[in-house]
């Protein structure tokens, strides 16, 4: 850009342009060693020096104090800064380049996600265990997940979450369930809070595979719990219902105070069917949505994972620490924690 054209821009436009040209220069540096041709024009001719020229073109004496201080600070640190950049590239070119590419790409992805949310009419959020990890609740299949831990009960934890194990080893099941599946100290994290706020201004349906009830605790109302909830329990004999607080007051293996029947958590264990009413509502919401956000899930648990294929909307977004292999066309994928991602968005 010519100096005259640059000088005609407003101050915010100059700063924005400088930022973009600076990052462009960093990326170009990975393919050339001609530092002078990159940084001299950027910093001395069309960068800071021109940036310091007042928009009114009244001369250097009319430069505001903040710009003058900024200019002096730049002169003192310019050479040191360039030497640091050179050293980083010379000794870790690939790593440094990767850092800047990720930084810039993430910023663009957040902007895209914000735009998709703002322009969508019907949104479905399909969440898994990764949504609650930022609340201190372990997920299942990640490298630090529950299924990777050495079981102290003599059976793999995944097997202990089956219907067969529940009925054959009820006492041991409840010891495990109380220790590993109930976390009364867990509180909603930013992902839950953001969705609760979004529900107030958007037509949003939350479909969760989690049983912790944190979405409702955050204030969300339109929540479909595919796998039930630890907050609901029922007697297998007389069908009386009990809250989590009721269960915690009873013995390790809770029995109904009314009839003595065994109380079972209203959670879907392996080998059990999903609640068909909830499943139908989930399919309806997904098929009518124009934006679907899949977050914090490996999509390895069937039939919940199969719900993705009912989506016929415009944009499919994935927010997950690990990349997902989806046959469906993904509009945007962000490999980062869900709450951390939502913190960068506005309602």
Tell me, yes or no, whether 77 and 156 share the same domain: no
Residue range 296-344, pLDDT digits in tens: 998 888 888 899 999 999 999 999 988 887 766 899 999 999 999 999 9
Tell me, yes or no, whether 294 and 329 share the same domain: yes
Enter the pTM of the model: 0.71
Structural contact between residues 165 and 264, judged by C-beta atoms closer than 8 angstroms: no
CATH number, residue 299: 3.40.50.1220
Tell me, yes or no, whether 122 and 101 share the same domain: no
Tokens of 248: 């915690």
Tell me, yes or no, whether 106 and 251 share the same domain: no
Mode of pairing for the β-strands spanning 228-235 and 241-243: antiparallel
Tell me, yes or no, whether 146 and 99 share the same domain: no
**Domain stops at, among 49, 78, 110:** 110
Tell me, yes or no, whether 23 and 90 share the same domain: yes
If residue 203 lies in a helix (H) or strand (E), which one and from where to where?
strand 203-208
**Domain stops at, among 50, 85, 110:** 110
54 belongs to a structural domain: yes
Task: Specify the number of domains making up the chain.
Answer: 2
Q: Which of 9, 76, 81, 75 is nearest to 48 (CA)?
A: 75
User: Which positions ≥6 away from 143 have C-beta within 8 Å?
Assistant: none
- Report the pLDDT value the prediction gives residue 52, as an integer from 0 to 100: 43
Alpha-carbon span 280 to 278, nearest angstrom: 5
Q: Which of 269, 262, 250 is nearest to 178 (CA)?
A: 250
Tell me, yes or no, whether 271 and 143 share the same domain: yes
User: Which positions ≥6 away from 94 have C-beta within 8 Å?
Assistant: none
- Report the pLDDT value the prediction gives residue 22, as an integer from 0 to 100: 46
Tell me, yes or no, whether 38 and 155 share the same domain: no
What range does the domain containing 101 cover?
Answer: 3-110
Tell me, yes or no, whether 223 and 280 share the same domain: yes
347 belongs to a structural domain: no
Residue range 114-163, pLDDT digits in tens: 999 999 999 999 999 999 999 999 888 777 778 888 888 889 999 999 99
173 belongs to a structural domain: yes
Checking if the pLDDT of 14 tops 50, the result is no
Catalytic residue among 62, 91, 215, 227: 227
72 belongs to a structural domain: yes
311 belongs to a structural domain: yes
Structural contact between residues 223 and 261, judged by C-beta atoms closer than 8 angstroms: no
Tell me, yes or no, whether 332 and 269 share the same domain: yes
280 belongs to a structural domain: yes
Q: Is 239 an annotated catalytic residue?
A: no
**Domain stops at, among 60, 84, 110:** 110
Written in H, E and C, the secondary structure of 260-304 is: CCEEEEEECCECCCCCHHHHHHHHHHHHHCCEEEEECCCCCCCCH
Residue range 244-279, pLDDT digits in tens: 999 999 988 999 999 999 999 999 999 999 999 999
Tell me, yes or no, whether 158 and 54 share the same domain: no
Tell me, yes or no, whether 91 and 171 share the same domain: no
């Amino acid at each position: 850009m010519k100096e005259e054209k640059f000088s005609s821009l407003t101050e915010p436009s100059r700063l924005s342009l400088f930022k973009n040209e600076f990052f462009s220069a960093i990326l170009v540096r990975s393919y050339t060693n001609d530092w002078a041709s990159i940084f001299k024009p950027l910093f001395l001719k069309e960068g800071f020096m021109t940036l310091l020229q007042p928009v009114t073109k009244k001369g250097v004496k009319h430069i505001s104090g903040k710009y003058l201080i900024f200019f002096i600070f730049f002169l003192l640190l310019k050479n040191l800064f360039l030497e640091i950049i050179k050293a980083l590239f010379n000794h870790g070119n690939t790593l440094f380049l990767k850092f800047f590419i990720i930084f810039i790409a993430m910023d663009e992805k957040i902007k895209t996600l914000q735009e998709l949310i703002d322009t969508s009419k019907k949104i479905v959020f399909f969440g898994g265990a990764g949504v609650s990890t930022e609340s201190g609740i372990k997920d299942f299949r990640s490298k630090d997940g529950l299924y990777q831990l050495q079981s102290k009960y003599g059976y793999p934890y995944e097997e202990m979450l089956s219907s067969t194990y529940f009925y054959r080893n009820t006492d041991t099941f409840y010891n495990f369930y109380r220790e590993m599946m109930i976390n009364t100290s867990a509180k909603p994290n930013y992902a839950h809070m953001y969705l609760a706020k979004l529900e107030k201004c958007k037509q949003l349906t939350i479909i969760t595979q989690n049983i912790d009830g944190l979405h409702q605790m955050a204030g969300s109302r339109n929540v479909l719990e595919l796998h039930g909830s630890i907050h609901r329990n029922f007697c297998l004999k007389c069908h009386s219902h009990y809250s989590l607080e009721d269960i915690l007051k009873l013995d390790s293996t809770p029995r109904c105070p009314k009839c003595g029947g065994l109380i079972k958590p209203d959670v879907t264990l392996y080998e059990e069917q999903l609640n068909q009413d909830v499943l139908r509502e989930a399919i309806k919401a997904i098929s009518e949505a124009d934006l679907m956000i899949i977050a914090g899930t490996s999509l390895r648990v069937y039939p919940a994972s199969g719900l993705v294929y009912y989506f016929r909307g415009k944009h499919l977004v994935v927010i997950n620490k690990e990349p997902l292999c989806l046959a469906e066309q993904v509009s945007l994928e962000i490999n980062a924690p869900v709450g951390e991602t939502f913190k960068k968005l506005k309602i």
